[in-house]
């Protein structure tokens, strides 16, 4: 099992629309493509608001294939187009990190 940390810069002006899009559409479509969302958070520091979430994957190949299929999903592409037209850009900088447990990390389960 590997974990992926995703951090999105989100904007106060359309934060509610971003959360609605992720909650009502992205998470559902991601599940259809085999994503397992472990947890989600909103964070803020130094005047920047962020949305962070952790994904669990059985292996790197599954992660790569799932992201490729999600990013080309016609429903997701249309939702992004519509929400961008209604609310403008909803995500700024994106950070993507693979997290490898140390040998002394408590076991997740």
pTM of the model: 0.92
Quote the DSSP letter at residue 11: -
- pLDDT value at residue 109: 64
- pLDDT value at residue 19: 98
- pLDDT value at residue 43: 94
- For range 24-47, the mean pLDDT: 96
- State residue 57 phi and psi, 5-degree precision: -130, 145
Tell me the C-alpha distance between 80 and 75, whole Å.
9
Confidence category of residue 101, pLDDT binned at 50, 70, 90: confident
Q: What is the pLDDT of residues 56-95, one digit of tens each?
A: 999 999 999 999 999 999 999 999 999 999 999 999 999 9
- For range 95-109, the mean pLDDT: 88
Mean pLDDT of the chain: 95
pLDDT at 44 over 80: yes
User: Hey, is 52 helix, strand or coil?
Assistant: strand
């Amino acid at each position: 099992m590997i974990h992926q940390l995703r951090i999105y810069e989100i904007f106060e002006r359309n934060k509610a629309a971003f959360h609605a899009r992720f909650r009502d559409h992205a998470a559902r479509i991601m599940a259809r493509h085999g994503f397992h969302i472990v947890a989600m958070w909103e964070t803020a520091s130094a005047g920047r608001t962020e949305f962070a979430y952790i994904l669990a994957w059985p292996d790197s190949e599954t992660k790569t294939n799932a992201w490729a299929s999600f990013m080309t999903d016609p429903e997701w592409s249309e939702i992004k187009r519509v929400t961008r037209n209604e609310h403008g850009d909803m995500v700024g900088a994106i950070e993507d990190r693979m997290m490898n447990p140390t040998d002394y990390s408590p076991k997740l389960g």
